[in-house]
Amino acid sequence: MIRKDVLDKGFVKLVDLLGGDDTVVRSARVSFGSGSKGEEKDRKLIAYLLAHGHETPFEHAVFQFHVKCPIFVARQWFRHRWASYNEISGRYTVFDDGEFYVPDRKRIREKVNRQGSVVADVSDEEHRAFAEAIEAECARSVAAYRKMIAEGTAKELARTILPVGMYTQFYWTVNARSLMNFIRLRCDEHAQYEMREYAGVIRDVFREKMPWTAAAFEKGSSSEG
């Protein structure tokens, strides 16, 4: 199992993997009743499939990840619908750890891409003050949540006061075709910083487990740019 830490308290774990580059090759060549023809030809086949949009063979390689990330990152993640998700439920579970994300740098709205952000040009003291303010507000929400739980408030109601910076956990099962789409969109410089941090880790795992496909995918993406 692969585990990589992300942000201040998050992680990405590769829990399971069905198939890989060889699975893509077999799935593609079954149309002609054949299989592997050696590394050189197999790599060329994968590159050809991606270059010409023949992507269904990549759906036969499937990754399963266990992810811990802030809720606002998860909500962006779940927009990728060609996958399966199961998330921890605040209706059934008390968030005992009360963990939330605290950014170490203040960011301000980008002037050109107004939905994006850039690191603020302020002193280290101002960055620290910003982080401390976020931490104090989130801690206050978590304290109020715990008080409500202790008083017998239903978990499904008490959770309504928790901030979107709270950490959540989920399982994500996704085929390689959808995974490449996720990487293409979420590693882009216009994606939110925190989302890019997770997407970069997913990309690293993809490179390690499906190196031929990853290399062809990245070559094609760079030529498009």
Q: 202-223 pLDDT, tens per residue?
A: 999 999 999 999 999 999 776 6
Amino acid found at 27: S
Q: Is the pLDDT of residue 119 over 90?
A: no
Query: Does residue 186 carry a catalytic annotation?
Result: yes
pLDDT tens column, 146-175: 999 999 999 999 999 999 999 999 999 999
Residue 22's pLDDT band, with cuts at 50, 70 and 90, is very high
Catalytic option among 79, 81, 91, 186: 186
Q: Does domain 2-87+166-224 have CATH number 3.30.1360.170?
A: yes
Residue 224's pLDDT band, with cuts at 50, 70 and 90, is low
Residue 16 backbone zone (phi > 0: left; psi -120 to 50: alpha; other: beta)? beta
Residue 33's pLDDT band, with cuts at 50, 70 and 90, is low
> DSSP string spanning 97-165?
S--B---SS-EEE-SSSTT-EEE----HHHHHHHHHHHHHHHHHHHHHHHHHHHTT--HHHHGGGS-TT
Is the pLDDT higher at 182 or at 30?
Answer: 182
Summarize the confidence of residues 95-113 as an average pLDDT.
Answer: 85
pTM exceeding 0.75: yes
Residue 114's pLDDT band, with cuts at 50, 70 and 90, is low
64: which residues sit within 8 A by CB, 6+ positions away? 14, 15, 16, 17, 171, 172, 173
Rounded CA separation 111/212 (Å): 39
Q: Is the pLDDT of residue 177 over 60?
A: yes
| Cα-Cα end-to-end distance for the chain | 34
Residue 106's pLDDT band, with cuts at 50, 70 and 90, is confident
Predicted pLDDT of residue 225: 53
Residue 183's pLDDT band, with cuts at 50, 70 and 90, is very high
Locate the domains of the chain by residue range: 2-87+166-224, 107-161
